[in-house]
A and B are shown apart, each in its own frame.
Chain A
């Protein structure tokens, strides 16, 4: 009955608490993952960049998180003349 609704205590705080716990667990992971990708990107670029000239805009780093395992995919475009030059130096 709507009439007696005011008699029931409205306990909304437990809902707030639960929503926050779920949300923050997700968001904390998200932030740390973004940081990991940024760190990986810089370090991979540094290593590859020591041997070939690369265009920083043509680098893709992605992490696919799946239940069993995660896949780290790194895609770096290298112009042909650069690769030739690198091979010639060796």
Chain B
């Protein structure tokens, strides 16, 4: 049985889709079967970030409504053969998603894949609550900035109340992924530092993704950053995060852009 992860944030534009693609590809690199699922119905983007926009035939809504089989709708990645994409519909709206339908699709994905990574839409409406509804664990993507941290706090509240796990009284495991972090600005007191964000949100840290030009480059090319190049700072940070997600104990470092300066050590370990 595979594990279902929701990548969520509340606020838009913080890096949910980039992170879904990067973590999915990093996990698939180890040979695990991974499917990344786009829940952003009407505003799909995981397909372009994955570089599969011209190969979409059927989508999540078709599978939910039974007009296509799951095997027809999932798209196999051309670079990593254990990585798959289930795209969202671009023409329908989120009302086409039903809770029963999603439950069925998630159950089937869970049987077929080791990892089911759900890219949540922004906001706290139906689309976002459905994306998190059947998840086993959550990755909360936050930028070190007030509006993003505030929205993450709200999402944490929803994860603890609106998910099936929460309703059953089970533990909803949450991981914080801090993206667009600039260690230089944080050290100058111009940006919230890692400790501040962790103290405010009290969620264990999964990884720190440094602000980098490489992220835009990867999305321009339609390649998850972890496939694009393994030596750049954000790519290594995502690989570390993926290993922690898989349960490995990986030392927390801030991967820096500057050569020779890339390991400012932190005493903390991801829980």
Q: Is the A/B pair a real complex?
A: yes
Q: Which of B121-148 contact A (CB under 8 A)?
A: 145-146
For A28, list chain B residues within 8 Å (CB): 153, 157
Q: Which of A1-24 contact B (CB under 8 A)?
A: 9-14, 16-17, 19-21, 23-24
Q: Which of B178-210 contact A (CB under 8 A)?
A: 186, 188-193, 196, 200
Task: Please give the number of chain B residues whose Cβ is less than 8 angstroms from any Cβ of chain A in the complex.
Answer: 17
The reply to whether A23 and B150 contact each other, CB–CB distance below 8 Å, is yes
For B73, list chain A residues within 8 Å (CB): none
In whole angstroms, how far apart are the Cα atoms of A35 and B157 in the complex?
A: 11
Question: Is A31 an interface residue, CB under 8 A from the partner?
Answer: yes
The reply to whether B189 and A27 contact each other, CB–CB distance below 8 Å, is no
Task: Please give the number of chain A residues whose Cβ is less than 8 angstroms from any Cβ of chain B in the complex.
Answer: 17
When the two chains form the complex, which single residue of B154, B188, B200 contacts A20, counting CB atoms closer than 8 Å? B200
In whole angstroms, how far apart are the Cα atoms of A17 and B186 in the complex?
A: 12
For B154, list chain A residues within 8 Å (CB): 27, 31
The reply to whether A21 and B200 contact each other, CB–CB distance below 8 Å, is yes
Question: Is B149 an interface residue, CB under 8 A from the partner?
Answer: yes
Closest to B188 in A: A9
A81 to chain B, nearest CB (A): 39
When the two chains form the complex, which single residue of A11, A20, A27, A35 contacts B146, counting CB atoms closer than 8 Å? A20
When the two chains form the complex, which single residue of B153, B161, B190 contacts A13, counting CB atoms closer than 8 Å? B190
B262 to chain A, nearest CB (A): 22
A80 to chain B, nearest CB (A): 40
When the two chains form the complex, which single residue of B161, B188, B190, B192 contacts A17, counting CB atoms closer than 8 Å? B192
In whole angstroms, how far apart are the Cα atoms of A17 and B190 in the complex?
A: 11
For A24, list chain B residues within 8 Å (CB): 150, 153, 200
A23-B150, A24-B153, A28-B157 known; A17 and B189 CB under 8 Å?
A: no
Can you report 9 A-B residue pairs in the complex whose CB atoms are below 8 A from each other? A11-B190, A13-B193, A19-B146, A20-B200, A24-B150, A24-B200, A27-B150, A28-B157, A31-B157
* B residues neighboring A (CB under 8 Å): 145-146, 149-150, 153-154, 157, 161, 186, 188-193, 196, 200
- Known: A9-B188, A10-B188, A13-B192; 6 extra A-B contacts, CB below 8 A, are A10-B190, A13-B190, A13-B193, A19-B146, A20-B192, A21-B200
* A residues neighboring B (CB under 8 Å): 9-14, 16-17, 19-21, 23-24, 27-28, 31, 35
The 3 closest A-B pairs by CB, nearest first: A11-B189, A17-B196, A13-B189
